Amino acid sequence: MSLYRTYAVLGLGRYGMAVAKELVRSGAEVLAVDMDEVTVNSAAAEIPYCKCANVTDPEVIKQLNVGSIDVVLIAMANNMEASVMATMLCKEAGVKRIIAKCSNEMHRKILRKVGADKVVLPETEAGVRLAKNLLSSGFVDLIELDDNVSMVELPVAPEWVGKNLLELNLRKKYSINVVAIREGESVSVNIDPEKPLTAIMKLIVIAYTSKLKKLND
């Protein structure tokens, strides 16, 4: 089961469309919104819940009941004013987590100041990567090394605290390899397998993507 249950994608450009489609393909409940009717009609074949609306209008945000959605992605980096306004309105509506796409560093700073929890810059396949990240419960980040192998950073599960890597034997149980441990800003690749894990640690692991789902069981 994913960490979040419902999603909204505001802005169906190339990036937003990639996120929305990947989430839908993975079985998530997704609301997709764009101002362009042609874009919405085109997307409706693959994204069941598509709306043509202006998300910079407070009344629209209210009508869409955006405040009840777990994660909102604001994918309108080409329109700074619209993305900032949408972020503010979603924040005021009580959205639990807001992720916004930005076009430059100044845009990033503004979006963070008005309420975005995470701000992303465009990159190749970033939309698909973000969607898979959202759907991977507990994963701090996800990088696909190839079609079958991924690297993720995940928190230490409550039941792992106080135990060491030798005891947990994650390689045998989950077919994952711990390659580094993060504690705050410090990352260590010289891992002591007998050192007890703590709740503040993050494990950086490499595994077959298909095996990562076992971590959510």
Q: At residue 199, what are phi and psi to the nearest 5 degrees?
A: -70, -20
Judged by average pLDDT, the poorest of 14-18, 77-81, 158-162, 183-187 is 183-187
Full DSSP string of 137-196: TT-SEEEESSSSEEEEEEEPPGGGTT--HHHH-HHHHH-EEEEEEEETTEEESS--TTSP
| pLDDT at residue 2 in the model | 44
| pLDDT at residue 1 in the model | 36
| pLDDT at residue 3 in the model | 45
Check pLDDT > 90 for residue 14.
no
| pLDDT at residue 19 in the model | 86
Check pLDDT > 60 for residue 124.
no
User: DSSP letter at 44?
Assistant: T
pLDDT tens sequence across 153-202: 788 889 999 999 999 998 888 788 888 888 877 778 788 999 999 999 98
In terms of Cα–Cα distance, which of 158, 176, 166, 167 is closest to 213?
176
Q: What is the mean pLDDT of residues 135-154?
A: 60
Check pLDDT > 80 for residue 146.
no
Check pLDDT > 50 for residue 125.
no
pLDDT tens sequence across 22-72: 888 878 899 999 999 999 999 999 999 999 999 999 999 999 999 999 999
Cα(181)–Cα(160) distance, integer angstroms? 14
Cα(138)–Cα(153) distance, integer angstroms? 9
Give the domains, in start order, of the chain with CATH numbers.
6-135 (3.40.50.720), 141-216 (3.30.70.1450)
| pLDDT at residue 110 in the model | 92
| pLDDT at residue 106 in the model | 87
Task: Count CA atoms closer than 13 A to 114's CA, side-chain side.
Answer: 21
In terms of Cα–Cα distance, which of 154, 184, 72, 66 is closest to 118?
72
Amino acid at 181: I
Contact (CB, 8 A) for 15 and 101: yes
When the pLDDT of each residue in the chain is averaged and rounded to a whole number, the result is: 83
| Comparison of pLDDT for 208 and 133, the residue scoring more | 208
In terms of Cα–Cα distance, which of 199, 67, 205, 76 is closest to 136?
205
pLDDT confidence band for 104 (50 / 70 / 90) = confident
| pLDDT at residue 190 in the model | 82
Judged by average pLDDT, the poorest of 3-12, 27-36, 100-109 is 3-12
Listed in sequence order, the DSSP H helices in the chain are 14-25, 37-43, 58-63, 80-93, 105-113, 126-135, 165-168, 170-174, 209-212
